[in-house]
């Protein structure tokens, strides 16, 4: 592969794709900050260390990578090492479900976005977060929505 970027640019890009602070997450955070919302990033002590968390409202937000978490629109299994990758995906999904259950058990509300949803329209995603927060803050009666997923993810979970 040819080197098309200078070293500085390359390390900037690498730092984006490495670790937990991935680009889509940063995009959504930027919008939330611009909207004046205050949140925590990967708070320790909260199950699954959500990408964005509102501690007082108990709203946890995850941005799931289309590949690692098996997005119904974009996941395609690698052709080599097929079994390895299938197991990997199953393990990630199992962990996602376990984290959700643990959050529900502790009274959290969970919003999950796919990486591509954030890439396509971070403002729409942030709007959904803000309106969920409004609902949560307006209603402490115990009839809170427990689990919210966006369109494509919901369709997928039904067909599972
Ligand atoms: Zn996707």
Q: Of 114, 118, 107, which is closest to residue 155 (Cα–Cα)?
A: 114
The pLDDT of residue 157: 35
Tell me the CA–centroid distance for residue 4 and ligand 1, in Å: 27
Q: What is the helix (H) or strand (E) element at residue 92, kind and residue range?
A: helix 82-105
The two tokens of residue 38 are: 């205050």
Residue 52 lies in a domain: yes
Tell me the CA–centroid distance for residue 113 and ligand 1, in Å: 9
The two tokens of residue 148 are: 């919210």
Report H helices in the chain: 7-17, 23-34, 82-105, 115-120, 122-138, 151-159
Give the mean pLDDT of the chain.
80
Q: CATH no. for residue 68?
A: 3.40.960.10
State which residues form the domain around 55. Answer: 20-159
Tell me the CA–centroid distance for residue 46 and ligand 1, in Å: 26
Residue 68 lies in a domain: yes
Residue 154 lies in a domain: yes
Residue 41 lies in a domain: yes
Tell me the CA–centroid distance for residue 116 and ligand 1, in Å: 5
- Return the minimum-mean-pLDDT range out of 5-9, 93-97, 101-105: 5-9
pLDDT, one tens digit per residue, over 51-78 is: 999 999 999 999 999 988 989 998 888 8
Q: What is the CA radius of gyration of the chain?
A: 17
40 backbone dihedrals φ, ψ, rounded to 5°:
-110, 150
Residue 40 lies in a domain: yes
The pLDDT of residue 75: 86
Tell me the CA–centroid distance for residue 72 and ligand 1, in Å: 7
Residue 4 lies in a domain: no
- Return the minimum-mean-pLDDT range out of 17-26, 67-76, 125-134: 17-26
The pLDDT of residue 38: 93
Residue 103 lies in a domain: yes
Residue 5 lies in a domain: no
Count up the domains in the chain and report the number: 1
């Amino acid at each position: 592969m040819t080197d098309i970027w200078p070293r500085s640019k390359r390390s900037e890009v690498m730092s984006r794709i490495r670790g937990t602070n991935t680009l889509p997450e940063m995009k959504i955070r930027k919008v939330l900050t611009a909207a004046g919302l205050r949140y925590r990033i990967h708070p320790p002590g909260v199950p699954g260390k959500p990408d964005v968390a509102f501690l007082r409202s108990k709203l946890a937000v995850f941005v799931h990578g289309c590949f690692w978490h098996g997005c119904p629109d974009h996941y395609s299994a690698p052709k080599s090492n097929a079994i390895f990758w299938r197991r990997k995906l199953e393990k990630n999904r199992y962990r996602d479900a376990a984290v959700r259950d643990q959050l529900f058990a502790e009274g959290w509300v969970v919003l999950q976005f796919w990486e591509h949803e954030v890439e396509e329209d971070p403002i729409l995603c942030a709007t959904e977060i803000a309106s969920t927060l409004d609902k949560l803050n307006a209603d402490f009666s115990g009839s809170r929505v427990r689990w919210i997923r966006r369109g494509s993810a919901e369709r997928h979970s039904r067909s599972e």
